[in-house]
Structure 1
Amino acid sequence: MFDLPVLTKKERKEANAFRKRLQNQGFERCQFSIYMRWCPGKEVAERHVKQIKGFLPEGGKVDIVTITDKQYERIITFVSSRRASKKKRDQYTLF
């Protein structure tokens, strides 16, 4: 989750570049300033934390929350006032 300054043209350009870098690292957008990525382990997650810290624009704020697969499965989503149907999340398989 992040909050970036976007008052000037330069700040907007830096914010867009930040979003693109997240996407290039395999993050997907959940909401405008909330991105998520599945990591196969703690070491991979820590590597992404270091990379994000390295390209965070001046004046930006990032909060990183790590949750387990089980915790993610328990997310309840509402669309309007109705409970959304559960999406089946595929786990990645490497060969």
Structure 2
Amino acid sequence: MKADRFNAYRIMWIMVLYDLPTETKANMRDANLFRKRLLDDGFALFQFSMYMRHCPSRENAEVHMKRVKAILPKAGKVAIMCITDKQFGDIEIFFARNKEEPPPMYQQLELF
């Protein structure tokens, strides 16, 4: 059972992709607040307007997806996508035609 806990099909990644208006001061404030709250919840910048978070299980991912839904700004478009660690490992990343390695995998620590 313990080996199941760290299965690449159980570990999840949440991606939050967004396109928010920034024409007015209020729009800019809302966009900055949304980004700050994502960072406060453990998301990291993956690409411009795309943040990711590692979650040890589907249940934990659902908690963080609910948090994102609770902080959605009034205007703009936000997409939330959840993929398995296995799918994340298959991502190919390129920068100016040079292939980059995906970000390092997080080490899951067990306290008990």
Q: Same fold by TM-score, threshold 0.5 exceeded? A: yes
> Which residue of structure 1 lines up, in the alignment, with residue 58 of structure 2?
42
Identity %: 44
Bigger fraction of residues in strand? 2
Residue 97 of structure 2 aligns with an amino acid whose one-letter code is S
Deviation sequence 1:45-94 (CA, Å, 0-9, x none): 11112111111110132111111111111111112112224554233213
Name structure 1 gaps, 5 residues minimum: none
> Which residue of structure 1 lines up, in the alignment, with residue 77 of structure 2?
61
Equivalent position to 1:83, from 99, 105, 110 = 99
> Which residue of structure 1 lines up, in the alignment, with residue 29 of structure 2?
13
Residue 30 of structure 1 aligns with an amino acid whose one-letter code is F
> Which residue of structure 1 lines up, in the alignment, with residue 48 of structure 2?
32
Q: 2:69, 2:82 → 1: CA distance?
A: 16
> Structure 1's 64 and 28: CA in aligned 2 closer, same or farther, altered over 3 A?
same
> Which residue of structure 2 lines up, in the alignment, with residue 3 of structure 1?
19
Tell me how large the CA RMSD over aligned residues is: 1.5
User: TM-score of the superposition, structure 1-length normalised?
Assistant: 0.88
Residue 106 of structure 2 aligns with an amino acid whose one-letter code is D
Give runs of ≥4 in structure 1 deviating > 4 Å. none
> Which residue of structure 1 lines up, in the alignment, with residue 9 of structure 2?
none
Name structure 2 gaps, 5 residues minimum: 1-16
Stretch of structure 1 that moved more, 15-24 or 45-54:
45-54
